[in-house]
Amino acid sequence: MTEERFGGYNGKILRVNLSNGTVKIEAIDEAFCRKYIGGAGFVSYFLLKELEPDTDPLGPENKLVFAVGPITGIPLPGSGRHCVGAKSPLTGGIAKSEVGEFWGAEFKSAGFDVVIIEGKSPEPVYLYIHDGEAQIKSASGIWGKDTKETIGAIRDAENDKKARVALIGPGGENKVRFACIMHGLEDAAGRGGLGAVMGSKNLKAVAVRGTFKPTVANPEIVKALRKWMVDNLDKVANFSSFGTGGAMTYYEQVGNLPIRNFRDGTFPGVTNITAQAIKETIRVGMDGCFACPVKCKKVIEIKEPYEVDKAYGGPEYETLGAFGSSCGIDDLAAISKASALCNAYSIDTISTGGTIAFAMECFENGILTTEETGGIDLKFGNADAMLKMVEAIAHREGLGDILAEGSARAAKKIGNGAEAFSIQVKNLELPMHEPRLNKAMALGFMVNPHGADHCCNLIDLAFKDAGDTPSVTVSDAVPLGMESAPFDDIGPKKIALLKIVQLKKIIFDSLTLCQFLPYSYEQTAELTAGVTGWNTTVMEQLRAAERTMTMCRLFNIRQGLTAEDDKLPGRFFEPTTDGALSETALDPEKMETAKRYYYSLMGWDEKGVPTPEKLEELGIE
């Protein structure tokens, strides 16, 4: 096997058909790898190529794709990531989610770059991939179990404590439309309902193990970059100290923190739920991903009033916002418990929190009553109620069964104006950044192919200090000839900047590399050249990323999405009730103009459809 591998790649795809239990190995060549890079590029390519129009996302015809890139698993901070994708049961478009932990690196060591999972198993199964081979095994004994029990059982069954496991809990099995795929107990391929797709296939887990070491064309280049990153860990010092959520108090002040379902502008309780508060109260350690010295993941311990299993890690920023400020809750123990439950059940904390916040606002407006909630006083700020709803959603009990469809579908079912409180784009609940504050990010939410995703946008700008200093990602676009523009601007310069930042994020997601690490555009190109041996540059990477973005767009169009789906909830065209944004709101006309200019920059027509010429130019058939 080793003789066919090339710079950073195994050159191999594993294709598993669960309907008939077959496993095939296919080759990919270097030209293919160079064109699509890996990770998100590979996932988008195979989904676009292989899924028919009108695919039922929860039917056997959907495909689940896991992919790594050339960087995955090399000894470099941030290299422990991979991409998972499928047609989303939540959005109806592409679901494409990145995740850290050690799974991707281990999968690379197992000898593959991609696994494509097709069909539906008649009985619950799991997949075990190891050193160039793969078997489909029965999961009858573990179906229904939470993620911790499942991992333990699989490791026992394989007699392999080091196996890395991607898996679902009851949320995925119950096809909660925003179920995630957990990787270990702390890391999720979170968004778009990939866990529901896995559940629909009766696939409980994908366990991986291997001994192949990734090939590297020019180890000196990688070594130099690792040294640079290690020498520059102070650039992420704040992050290393606190993990995500260290800027929440600031966010609340400037108006970046969503409060009570994006309705309000002030939340004094924020100081109780920040990463600083976590460090001072419940934190007992920090965890990291493969090869990464940053260790940004919190380990916490809580006994009362909720017992939180420390194996599930502590809440990240998005979770703190989603179950915290967005539900009007400042109870750190409750938020941590909700986070752990989501990880145990494999449901996305952002959509879970967002959907509960939606239900709370419905409740406060009398659209939902205790009759529908089963007696639960589902007011903003009620931590117990929030936790009950998490359980109800994961197990699809009572109102939870409706909410498990996501806030958009739930709103339609509930009616009576509930739709005004469903805060999502393409049915994907918004992450914890205020679109009213950062207009370029708002546009990013609108046009992003998998809906309002915190990983694909200009959120960096939210970290601007009082002097409007661009953050790392934006300032490193200056050597590319991009000009900065005022923070709240949404003119052509800013849209061009949004495009290039989006493309950078796709480069990271394709390589695959952690977005939290401050590698510049130039460094990622250098890194790619070092690993692959290609004479490549930033521009080639940007064009590959543009190709991937265009493939995602084509996928969505084929599945029935249109420019009409590139729209923000009406809420953002009104100010918040108070706080930093109480006198400001987005201008619908300006956002529409901005959207059209974004389309033109992408080579898409007025309806957001990539032109045939652009496809030919990018080499998309």
Of the two residues 45 and 534, which places its CB atom closer to a copy of itself in the complex?
A: 534
> Least Å distance between CB 536 and a copy of itself?
5
Of the two residues 253 and 484, which places its CB atom closer to a copy of itself in the complex?
A: 484
How many residues in the shown chain lie near a copy of itself by CB under 8 A?
Answer: 33
Give yes or no for residue 597 binding a copy of itself (CB under 8 A): yes
Among 310, 395, 543, 567, binds a copy of itself (CB under 8 A): 543
* DSSP structure string for 468-535: ----HHHHTTGGGTPPP--TT--SHHHHHHHHHHHHHHHHHHHHT--TTS---HHHHHHHHHHHH---
Among 75, 269, 492, 518, binds a copy of itself (CB under 8 A): 492
Of the two residues 369 and 600, which places its CB atom closer to a copy of itself in the complex?
A: 600
Cα–Cα–Cα angle for 347, 100, 392, rounded to 5 degrees: 10
Query: Is the separation of the CB atoms in 57 and 92 below 8 Å?
Result: yes
Of the two residues 249 and 520, which places its CB atom closer to a copy of itself in the complex?
A: 520
What's the token pair of residue 457?
């946008």
> Least Å distance between CB 547 and a copy of itself?
9
What's the token pair of residue 540?
């080639």
Of the two residues 125 and 497, which places its CB atom closer to a copy of itself in the complex?
A: 497
Residues 6 or more apart from 415 whose CB is under 8 A from it?
367
Phi then psi dihedrals of residue 179, to 5 deg:
-65, 145
Q: 456: closest CA among 507, 405, 421, 411?
A: 507
Of the two residues 459 and 497, which places its CB atom closer to a copy of itself in the complex?
A: 497
Give yes or no for residue 582 binding a copy of itself (CB under 8 A): no
Q: What's the number of CA atoms in the CB half-sphere (13 Å) around residue 403?
A: 32
Instruction: Build a one-symbol-per-residue string for 412-451: x at contacts with a copy of itself by CB under 8 A, - elsewhere.
Output: ----------------------------------------
> Least Å distance between CB 216 and a copy of itself?
19
Query: Is the separation of the CB atoms in 474 and 460 below 8 Å?
Result: yes
What's the token pair of residue 295?
């260790």
Gap between the Cα atoms of 186 and 9, Å rounded: 27
Instruction: Build a one-symbol-per-residue string for 298-317: x at contacts with a copy of itself by CB under 8 A, - elsewhere.
Output: --------------------
Give yes or no for residue 135 binding a copy of itself (CB under 8 A): no
> Least Å distance between CB 483 and a copy of itself?
6
What's the token pair of residue 105?
């690196």
Give yes or no for residue 539 binding a copy of itself (CB under 8 A): yes
> Least Å distance between CB 292 and a copy of itself?
26
The neighbour count for residue 584, using CB atoms within 10 Å, is 14
Give yes or no for residue 531 binding a copy of itself (CB under 8 A): no
Give yes or no for residue 614 binding a copy of itself (CB under 8 A): yes
Gap between the Cα atoms of 310 and 619, Å rounded: 48
> Least Å distance between CB 77 and a copy of itself?
22
Of the two residues 37 and 83, which places its CB atom closer to a copy of itself in the complex?
A: 37
Query: Is the separation of the CB atoms in 531 and 217 below 8 Å?
Result: yes
Give yes or no for residue 30 binding a copy of itself (CB under 8 A): no
Of the two residues 434 and 566, which places its CB atom closer to a copy of itself in the complex?
A: 566
Give yes or no for residue 491 binding a copy of itself (CB under 8 A): yes
Q: Which stretch binds a copy of itself (CB under 8 A): 273-281, 399-407, 466-474, 536-544?
A: 536-544
Q: In this structure, which long-range contacts are made by residues 133-136, counting pairs with CB atoms below 8 Å and at least 24 apart in sequence?
A: 134/14, 134/16, 134/23, 135/23, 136/16, 136/18, 136/21, 136/23
Give yes or no for residue 493 binding a copy of itself (CB under 8 A): yes
Of the two residues 211 and 611, which places its CB atom closer to a copy of itself in the complex?
A: 611
In the region spanning residues 544 to 563, those forming contacts with a copy of itself, defined by CB under 8 A, are 544
Of the two residues 223 and 493, which places its CB atom closer to a copy of itself in the complex?
A: 493
What's the token pair of residue 332?
């750190």
Amino acid, single-letter form, for residue 252: E
Distance of CA 203 to the CA centre of its chain: 21
Give yes or no for residue 541 binding a copy of itself (CB under 8 A): yes
Residues 6 or more apart from 409 whose CB is under 8 A from it?
177, 402, 427
Phi then psi dihedrals of residue 427, to 5 deg:
75, 0
Of the two residues 25 and 472, which places its CB atom closer to a copy of itself in the complex?
A: 472
Q: Which stretch binds a copy of itself (CB under 8 A): 19-27, 331-339, 376-384, 485-493?
A: 485-493
In the region spanning residues 450 to 479, those forming contacts with a copy of itself, defined by CB under 8 A, are 478-479
Instruction: List the strands of the sheet with 64-67, edge to edge.
Output: 22-27, 12-17, 114-118, 64-67, 82-87, 94-99
Q: Which stretch binds a copy of itself (CB under 8 A): 73-81, 196-204, 460-468, 486-494?
A: 486-494
Give yes or no for residue 600 binding a copy of itself (CB under 8 A): yes
In the region spanning residues 315 to 374, those forming contacts with a copy of itself, defined by CB under 8 A, are none
Gap between the Cα atoms of 453 and 457, Å rounded: 7
Give yes or no for residue 617 binding a copy of itself (CB under 8 A): yes
What's the token pair of residue 143?
């179906």
Where does this chain bind a copy of itself (CB under 8 A)? Answer: 478-483, 491-493, 495-496, 521-522, 534-544, 597, 600, 603, 611, 613-614, 616-617, 619
